[in-house]
A and B are shown apart, each in its own frame.
Chain A
Amino acid sequence: MPALSLRSLARAASLPAGGTAEPLEDIRGIATITGVGETAVSGPSGRDPRQMALEAVAAAIADAGLQPQDIDGLMVSGHIADQITPEDFHRHFGTPGPLWFSTEGGAMIWAATCAHEAAMAMRARRATHIVNVFAVDWATRRAAGTGTPGDWHAGEDMKAHLEVPLGWYPQPVYFATFARRYMHEYQLTEAQLAAIPLTFRRHANGHPGAVMRDRGLTLEAYLARPPLAGPLRREDCCLISDGAAAWVMSPSERAADMPRIPIHIDGVGHGRIAGAPYISQQLDLTATPQVFAAPWAYAMAETAPAEVDVIAVYDCFSSTALMQIEDLGFCRKGEGGSFVQEDRLHYARTRRQGGIPCNTHGGLLSHGYLLGASHVVELVRQLRGSAANQVTDAQRAVYAGFTADEAATLVLSRGGA
């Protein structure tokens, strides 16, 4: 398969105004996901994030049929505290060898872009089997009063001086403001928006690892809840969780000899708004930077939304998921509110039936807040055919990562058995 040039990718992606895409090189055919692992996801648990990370890494290595000494690459988040280091890895597993190390891994957008970074490292022969891991203990930290997901926002210079003193903080306030604008422009109703938390909750109810597996949610109960950041209710906002997830990426030519069905990394996109990180000033408050990321990933994978069977979207808020479903191209801008009705996001209603199964593990809203790392693990299970809420004959999957001012897209496909 001849590689696509950056120029042809840019031309095929044809981005709208208001942002840019990273010029990511074509990496098709290089890397596959060969193993996944995770810890239990929970509320405040007192668990140490490094111990959770090592537990998830060990599970992913075992799932790939490898030994710790086979791993020669490690990717973690450089943006969230208390991730593991190569020294932690060696100490825990007793491995001596050199370890290619990158802090451009983890979750959020990096759960997508790490696949590109890993493929580039494999192409340059810097590493063979690379594990990406993300751990978070924000449930424990919030309960202890030692940290919140808002800390970065409160510390950024302009946000600290021109948003926080006016009360435009923390994150639910941002996304409620954008949701209100979306409701105005596209006549979205609160009952329509409810389809997102309700469908994701039903997925969690069928997923043994979901934090909300035993908690039902009805439309009546949802509508009866008071606004937390109007128009958003607590059920529209992500959980705060403890947990870790990891996956092993291996060269495609080796994957055929490994025990699991290889999951091919076919396309990656990474976009950001003009004027980042100030989302209050973004050109279109009713869209996400997914509009700058997804077209690049589709162009690289030479695919389109109509050929995708299941998606996992960074659902920090229900409205953010709604906008990204549009921005990924599953319906037109402004039609998301009607699109998500009639179970179109439910795992049992497949693409052929006019739906797109979304966040089949329950998402950040109802599975757990591992910032998208569990989303990728879930998509791998869907493509292997081993998911709790299995989509029939899932062949291609898309993960949509998000930080607010940036977004990233990862296209995966099921390899031959």
Chain B
Amino acid sequence: MNGPDLDHPLAGPFWSAAARKELQVTWCAACDRAVWYPRPHCPHCDGNLHWRRLSGEASLISWCEVAGGLNPQFREAYTCALVSPLEAPDIRIVMRVTENTTPALRCDMPGRVDFVYLQQTNGAPYLAPAFTPYA
């Protein structure tokens, strides 16, 4: 596979939302909390989960600068991160970091989720969430 699978029963809606530049995660209405990663049922109450759109306000938990060539699916160097959304500070979503960010990155800095095009080797471009720190 050389890109996200929009038809995947658990993860597909995340990517369909990203294609509309929306950040969505699975949510348990009964527990009123995010469940991440997606699962067939809530691990706390076994209730149904639904996808919920988030504001995109978020904080940077940590990040990694990946040298070009380490990951064969992406030729160029890039930065990816674990990001916690404002509405669900206990979960961490894997994202990119927007290129050429100012100010310098630091853990727990606030920012917003934007969407950037990514393309894997031999794959088609797709929109993916990227953390952009507030200046």
Hey, which bits of chain A sit against chain B, CB under 8 A? 157-158, 160-170, 172-173, 176-178, 180-181, 184-185, 226-230, 275, 278, 280-281, 285
Contact = CB atoms under 8 A, between A and B. Distances in A.
Contacts of B43: 275
Contacts of B14: 162
A293 B66 CA distance: 31
A177 B118 contact: no
Given A184-B107, A229-B66, 16 more contacts: A161-B4, A161-B5, A162-B14, A163-B94, A165-B15, A165-B120, A166-B95, A167-B80, A170-B70, A173-B71, A180-B62, A180-B63, A180-B107, A229-B64, A230-B64, A280-B82
Nearest to A163: B94
Contacts of B3: 165
Interface of chain A, main secondary structure: helix
A168 to B, nearest CB: 4
B101 interface: no
Interface of B: 1, 3-5, 8, 10-11, 14-15, 36-38, 43, 61-67, 70-71, 73-74, 78, 80-82, 91-92, 94-96, 106-108, 118, 120, 126, 128-129
A181 B62 contact: yes
Given A161-B4, A227-B65, A167 B82 contact: no
Nearest to A226: B67
Nearest to A165: B4
A128 B75 CA distance: 53
13 contacts: A158-B38, A161-B8, A162-B94, A166-B94, A167-B66, A167-B71, A173-B80, A176-B64, A176-B65, A184-B62, A184-B108, A230-B66, A281-B91
Query: Which A-B residue pairs are the 8 nearest by beta carbons?
Result: A230-B65, A161-B11, A184-B107, A181-B62, A176-B64, A168-B94, A158-B37, A177-B64
Contacts of B78: 167
A173 B62 CA distance: 11
Given A165-B3, A229-B67, A181 B61 contact: yes
A189 to B, nearest CB: 15
Given A180-B64, A281-B37, A161 B120 contact: no
Q: Tell which of A163, A167, A172, A226 has the most Cβ of chain B within 10 Å.
A: A167
